[in-house]
């Protein structure tokens, strides 16, 4: 399951260059979790686990348990953080 969170980025209008209509959208940018500050990483993971529609099965887990579970997945390389420039959103996705 993939969920998205929004990150608003400010870009100076003069730096924006419209892409030609025939140019495919850029691939999402992988953000190594180790490159984020502890607070930012915690906020990204919390935002991810608090989204409506995130399914953890029939068992209830506390917020701390959910955050720890996602953090372990990031540490083991089973999940990664990606930034989609087109939607200006950050997501945590499972790796293949």
Report yes or no on 16 lying in a domain: no
**Distances, alpha carbon 1 to alpha carbons 8, 14, 23, 39, 51, in Å:** 23, 37, 28, 24, 12
Report yes or no on 12 lying in a domain: no
Contacts of 48 (CB under 8 A, 6+ apart): 3, 5, 54, 70, 91, 92
pLDDT band at 3 (very low <50, low <70, confident <90, very high): very low
Domain of residue 82: give its range.
Answer: 1-6+27-52+62-96
Report yes or no on 73 lying in a domain: yes
pLDDT at 1 over 60: no
Model confidence pLDDT, tens digit, residues 43-52: 999 999 988 6
Report yes or no on 89 lying in a domain: yes
Q: Tell how many helices (H) and how many strands (E) occur in the chain.
A: 2, 4
pLDDT at 9 over 50: no
- Given a contact cutoff of 8 angstroms between Cβ atoms, the answer to whether 69 and 61 are in contact is yes
- Provide the number of structural domains found in the chain: 1
CATH number of the domain to which 36 belongs:
1.10.10.610
> What pLDDT is attached to residue 61?
84
Report yes or no on 22 lying in a domain: no
Report yes or no on 14 lying in a domain: no
> What pLDDT is attached to residue 21?
64
Report yes or no on 13 lying in a domain: no
Model confidence pLDDT, tens digit, residues 57-83: 677 888 899 899 999 999 999 999 999
Report yes or no on 57 lying in a domain: no
Alpha-helix residue ranges (DSSP H) falling in 2-95? 38-50, 63-75
Nearest Cα to 81, choosing from 50, 38, 39, 35? 35
């Amino acid at each position: 399951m993939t969920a998205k969170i929004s990150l608003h980025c400010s870009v100076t209008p003069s730096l924006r260059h419209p892409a030609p209509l025939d140019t495919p959208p850029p691939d999402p940018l992988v953000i190594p979790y180790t490159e984020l500050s502890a607070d930012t990483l915690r906020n990204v993971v919390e935002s991810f686990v608090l989204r409506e529609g995130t399914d953890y099965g029939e068992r209830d887990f506390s917020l701390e348990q959910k955050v720890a579970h996602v953090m372990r997945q990031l540490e083991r390389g089973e999940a990664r953080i990606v930034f989609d420039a087109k939607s200006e959103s950050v997501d945590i996705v499972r790796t293949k």
